[in-house]
Each structure stands twice: as structure tokens, then as C-alpha cells.
Amino acid sequence: MNKLPSNKRVTNSNVLVLQTTFPNESANWKKKKPANSIIMQAAQYQSPVYLNTQEGSTDSVVNRDEPVPVVDTEKGSRMLLREPSQLTNRRKLMIGLVIVLVIACSWVGATQTAKSSYMNGFSAPYFVTWFTTSWMILVFPLTAPLYFLTGRAKLNTAGVSHLLRHSAQVFSPQGLTLVSFLTSTVLFTLIWAGTNYMYSRALISTHPTDVTALFSSAPAFVFLLSVVVLREPPLILRFGAVLLVISGITLFAYVDGFESANVVGVVLSVGSAFGAALYKVLIKWRVGDATLYQMSLFLSTLGLFSTLCLWPIPLALHLTGVELLTNIPWGYLCISALLSVIFNFSINFGIVYTFPLFISLGTVMGIPLSAVVDSLFRNVDFFDWKFPATDLIVGGFILMLLPPDDSQCLQKGCVKAVSCKSCQKQTK
């Protein structure tokens, strides 16, 4: 069996990262860094409509790590925003707490407002997906100022040109070409659209809390796909996490009744989780390592392509009567789209300027926060069995957060404990 190139293999690390870990972007960031497992990165994922594509650090990608010029800032006097390496742990902790709240609130808010848009006869989940995706164009413009605020380059034509050249290498070493456009932007936009459509469609028949809880099963699918596609080492502990997730999904379906309309929402939610996992694994396989600015440009390009090329789909669905575009709640849709942009930007910013663990905490907090919103504003009474179902999925989620090294240590410890007990029994 052929091995993947080093830039596309996922190696082990003891850092908890749910989303992309960006390389150290200082003048010597070409140095080889430990890499994080894609499984831990995927755990931070949230709703696919707010899908963030960043993946964890691997070995440096050839020709994508062009040195970033750093301006002499005279001990930081010209820097409006400090580099992550210059922040103290206390300041990172403070930033992290704010990021946790922003991530949780923006994710829940985007999902809840998307759910609220289905009213007064409006039921067009694909249009919601297309409209929300179009706002992803804003991700790169919101991220690009960090390049200049941190003193990496002067805000002039040369600095902007270098930023664009550096960011465009996410598509290929030569930048954005026709071939790289067809093999990256087009493919991933289609996967993104399908994944987000299932998520949006699930909100029609299922409560947002159920959808967010079921979507948290994405890391389990990432693990299974990573073993097959990325040749990740199959760890027994993570297979146990997969079993927990599957048990939680089955319990959700059992509570709703296997023949009820809500089961459609359960299936679609799980389908969107699988689509998100496929998206992340293929991103890792195709793109490998990438910087904050490169992945932000990738997201914006994806949003631009969806806006310009996929608009005939909602129009065709409207003309055929499948999704009538009448009584469109523009207010809810704009709020949901804006919150999804804030969500993606917060993850990009947080993964660089604070501890990666905070990103996962923001995601986990989204589930109980969504339950509170459903209970207060939608008068949803959760069945008793839905709580253990959610606990099983969250438990699998947390097990996926364990770094590979820790998982192997626990696995070896359990084997030794069992061996010792068997030895004691034989002695007696």
C-alpha cells in the first residue's frame, strides 16, 4: 500500500486542536512543527452551514510556505495587534474565554435563526444554504487586515500583492489556475452545498438542539475516513468513541420513533455530519497544511463560486415548485448568514491567538445553550431519553479530543491492568 506524501499525512501531537492549526507564521515558520490529528480538529466543527475548512498542521507543504515578510516594528511600537507568540498565557486565557462565548453564541444564533426562517409558508432549505454560503465571501476581507495589523507588511501595493500571492498558494504552488480551480473550488463547493443542504433541511422537521447534538458525531466519521484515506493509526479508544456516537444516534431515532417524520431529520443531521467529515478529510488530503490567510481565501473563493455559479439551482427549484421563493424572511436569513461569518472568523482568530482547546469548548457549549433557547422560546419539552442520547454523542466527542499519544497511553494502561489482574488470578 502506497504511503501518502509527508505533507498529506497526519502525524501525532499532544495539542488539542479542533480546527486548523496554523503554522507559526514568523520569519522562521518554515521549521518543522509537531502536527495535530485531523480527528481532533474535526471535533470542533459546528453546523455545516458554518463549516470551517481549516485543518491541523502537518509537515510543511512544498511551495506553500513562502516566507512572510516581517516589518521592523521597533519593539512593537508600530504594531497595532501583537503576534500570538508575544502574548502571555494570561492574555491568551482572557482572549480564549471571549472566543468561547462568541463561538457558542454565533453557532447557536445562526442555527436558531435559520430554523426561525421556516415560517409563513417559506420552506426553501437549498436557498438558505446558497444565500448563507454567499456571505462566506467576507471571510478573507475580514482576515486580511490581521496581516498588516501585526506588522507583517506595510499596507501598500507591495504588501497587498504579497498577501494575495501567499494566500493563492492554497490552490497550487502556481496560485489559482484553471486546473486547481476545477479540482479544488468546484469539488469542495459541491460537497459544501450538499452538506449544508442536509443540515438546513433537517431544521425543518427537527429541533435545533437535536440537530446540533447529532451533528457533533462528525468527528467519529472523520476518524473512520481518516483511517481509510489518510492512513491514520486505528486506535481502539477512538473506535470506542465511534460506538458511543452510534449508540447516541440510535437512541435519538428510537425516542422519535423509527417511522416518525422526525427520523428524517435525524437521518439528514447524521448525513450532514458525514458530509462535513468527508469535506474535512478531503481538504486535508488535497490542501495539506495551510496558513490562516490561505484558508480564508479558500473560503471566500468557495463563497464566490457558489454565488456566481449555483444560483440557477434555487431558481430551477422555484420554477418547478419544489422550493417556492415566496414570503422570504430576509431579516432572519441575513442574521443567520452574518452569524455564520462571525463564527468562521472567530475560529480563525481564536486558533491563532489563544489555546486551541477553547475552540472545542465553544462547540460543546453550543449544545446546552441551544437547549436553553429551544426551551425558552420554542416551548420544547425534551424527552428523558434524549439527554442520555446527547450524553453518549458528547462523550464520544470528548474521547475524540484526546491526543493520539494519550489515547495510546490509556490503551496500553488498560491492557497492562487487564494483564495484571489475569496474572493475579492465575497466582491465586
- Give the span between the Cα atoms of 148 and 79, in whole angstroms: 8
pLDDT > 90 in the chain, percent: 24
1 domain-assigned: no
Q: Which of 22-31, 178-187, 281-290, 293-302 has the lowest mean pLDDT?
A: 22-31
- Give the span between the Cα atoms of 190 and 178, in whole angstroms: 17
Which of 302, 267, 278, 265 lies closest to 134 in space, CA to CA?
302
Task: Specify the pLDDT at position 356.
Answer: 64
- Give the span between the Cα atoms of 159 and 150, in whole angstroms: 13
Say which residue, 379 or 355, is predicted with more confidence: 379
pLDDT > 70 in the chain, percent: 69
244 domain-assigned: yes
What is the overall mean pLDDT for the chain?
A: 74
pTM confidence score: 0.74
Task: Specify the pLDDT at position 80.
Answer: 47
In which domain, by residue range, is 346 found?
6-427
Using an 8 Å Cβ cutoff, are 128 and 329 in contact?
no
390 domain-assigned: yes
Within its chain, how far is the Cα of 286 from the centroid? 16
Say which residue, 92 or 207, is predicted with more confidence: 207
Distance in Å from the first CA to the final CA of the chain: 47
Please state the φ and ψ torsions of residue 129, each to the nearest 5 degrees.
-65, -45
- Give the span between the Cα atoms of 132 and 349, in whole angstroms: 21
Using an 8 Å Cβ cutoff, are 366 and 359 in contact?
no
Model pLDDT for residues 306-316, shown as the tens digit of each residue: 999 999 999 99
Of the ranges 156-170, 224-238, 328-342, which is most confident? Answer: 328-342
Say which residue, 299 or 256, is predicted with more confidence: 299
- Give the span between the Cα atoms of 325 and 306, in whole angstroms: 18
- Give the span between the Cα atoms of 348 and 139, in whole angstroms: 9
Q: Which residue has the cell 521549521?
A: 31
Residue 185 has pLDDT above 70, yes or no: yes
Model pLDDT for residues 269-291, shown as the tens digit of each residue: 999 999 988 988 888 888 776 77
389 domain-assigned: yes
Model confidence at 382, pLDDT cuts 50, 70, 90, reads: low
87 domain-assigned: yes
Question: Per the structure, how many domains does the chain have?
Answer: 1
Reduce the DSSP state of residue 382 to 3 states and report it.
Answer: coil
- Give the span between the Cα atoms of 394 and 396, in whole angstroms: 5
Q: Which of 234-243, 255-264, 407-416 has the lowest mean pLDDT?
A: 407-416
Residue 42 has pLDDT above 50, yes or no: no
Within its chain, how far is the Cα of 413 from the centroid? 32
Model confidence at 322, pLDDT cuts 50, 70, 90, reads: very high
